[in-house]
Structure 1
Amino acid sequence: MFETSLSAAQVTQALYETFVMLGLSLAIGGLWGLVQGTVMVLIRENGVRPNVALFRFLTPIINTLRSVPFIILLIALIPITKFIVSTSIGTMAAVVPLSLYIGPYIGRLVETSLLEVGNGIIETARSLGASTWQIVWHFLLPEARQSLVLNLTTATIGLLGATTMAGAVGAGGIGDLAISYGYQRFDTGAVLITVLILIAIVQVIQFSGEFIAKRLA
């Protein structure tokens, strides 16, 4: 057995901070992604409301945001983070870059899921006189719900990894324990504990996502 200087209280606090970062940034990024993905599907050349000029304008912006590594984004957004939450250190400060990091990513996943819906569904909706909002709410999203859940599961696991990196700049959470105790204090037990915790969280997220997706099938 590995010994560690970590206490149960420290692990509990780190878990709380991790879930705060994960929950808030997933909520904000998920809303961003849902809007982004839906809009990109609607305005593409063969979409319900085609707008090629806007589509071509937004595409490189989205691709640019997705291409920036999280650790760089975390540092680059420090002035904006300070403006929004009045600090660049801590759990709440990490929510800003985490949301900006995961939003465009979820948006692309939502876009992919919605594009899997057959054109026949959309044509049926149009023939029934459905508005754009009705097509999205009553046809596109329900038909893509299983794929959306699975893609959101993937995004959540990726976001969990980003929260651990946020620990490198004092955001707290499991990543902070791994760095401040496991790395800086050469506490092998701390590293083992944090790795096992992350593995357990990932397993729960993956199982939950697959279970929900099956129920929606």
Structure 2
Amino acid sequence: MSFTAQKHVRQVVATLEETYPERGTALEFNDPWQLLTATILSAQCTDVMVNKVTPRLFAAYPDPYALGHADILAVEEIVKPTGFYHNKARAIIAESLELSEKWGGTVTPEMDFLTALPGVGRKTANVVLAHAFGKQTVVVDTHVKRLTYRIGLSESLVPEKVEQDIMAAVAESHWNSLCDALIAHGRSVCNARKPDCQSCAITRLCPKNGVPEAKVPR
């Protein structure tokens, strides 16, 4: 990466971090297993809805053993508001059962361990590593994928490649804060259908890749 490109990336990262100083996930949890389970439920669902469901779920099934041995119909009834509840119920029961039977209910803070669990991909694993264990990771959700392409941090829309591109372009100490800021920016300003470029803090730094008729403030 050229010096000019590096400077541009640093400006984008610094501006986003300054605009969105709050850090962390909106998902509510008390331990790594709860965050793992909540993140699985958050697929194609808002964090707000997940936070409405998980208190009842964890009250009924307070640990991996309890959820791993739960009746699937009862779990489906609880998680139904999150959507795709048949698959999600199976997934959270399966990961909980494996954790309880093979690992004593303990979540190990390693990518290989997490992605070996049923229903756990890199995005979910990175969320847990970042927000339950404080590790620097690159969480590529739908907002991060969309914004990194629009901003020019990645030319790909494939999550694994986006993750690699961010890791190559951005200092490791900024991975978590950048992803948190991108998610917040994607939700509040740079939405999928009609991004508000007039209100965007990085509009003058953004090439607006894939944004039709983007208007830049003068």
Q: How does the TM-score come out when normalised to structure 2?
A: 0.33
Higher relative contact order (CA 8 A, sep 6+): 1
Q: How does the TM-score come out when normalised to structure 1?
A: 0.33
Bigger helix fraction = 1
